[in-house]
Amino acid sequence: MEITVNDWLQAADHEVELRRWRDQSGERTKHVVVEHSFTGISPEMVFWYLTNFDHASYLMWHPAHIGLQWENKVAGPGAIHIAWEKVLGKLAAYRIRLDTPDASPIPPKETSIAVMLNIIDTEGDTLIHILNEVEQAGDQTNITCTFVFPEAAPDEFVEAHRRHNVEEVPGMVNKAVPYLVQKTFGYLIEPEKLAGYGLIVPA
């Protein structure tokens, strides 16, 4: 993807705002929870995808997604990617790090596969926590996404992320995951076998 000077300026302004809200809030936060339920996909497939997703499949999540760059592509905690997307009409470059679930300010359920994604600043300090919990419930896979924002973040900003999540997760599950599995293996591999493959797609 091509990044213009104007793109970088918009992204930098976005991070400045997030830093200001974080500093104004101190330790005070507010959070929003979004629940999703799907059939035809397993928690293992979702977890594998979130380790391996690429630029092409990231664009399938949502029309507001502009591009994806991997800064550190590893299988597990410490992986960092930069997600370019439109937020309230402005371009953001979210630097997102995969952390261990114990980094979550909200303890994950013991029955779920927890994926802790933190939006971080250029120094590596957290701006927004995103806890994704994936669990099997009969023939359904439930995904619970919990966003933890600085308390000073405007309600309009928080609502934009809630609405975006409502729209993007079905795109990830129904379009991006099957696409990347088939692109990688040539067929829809059995979910229980995916855990043995780890990191497949190069950065």
pLDDT of residue 186: 74
Under a CB-based contact definition with an 8 Å cutoff, are residues 82 and 97 in contact?
A: no
Mean pLDDT of the chain: 89
Q: What is the pLDDT of residues 11-53, one digit of tens each?
A: 999 999 999 999 999 999 999 999 999 998 888 888 888 888 9
Residues of the chain whose pLDDT is less than 70? 1, 187-203
pLDDT of residue 94: 97
Largest CA distance in the chain: 50
Full set of structural domains in the chain with CATH: 5-194 (3.30.530.20)
pLDDT of residue 154: 97
* Residue ranges of E strands in the chain: 29-39, 65-72, 80-87, 90-99, 113-120, 126-137, 140-150
Who's near 120: CB < 8 A, 6+ residues apart? 80, 95, 96, 97, 126, 127
pLDDT of residue 68: 94
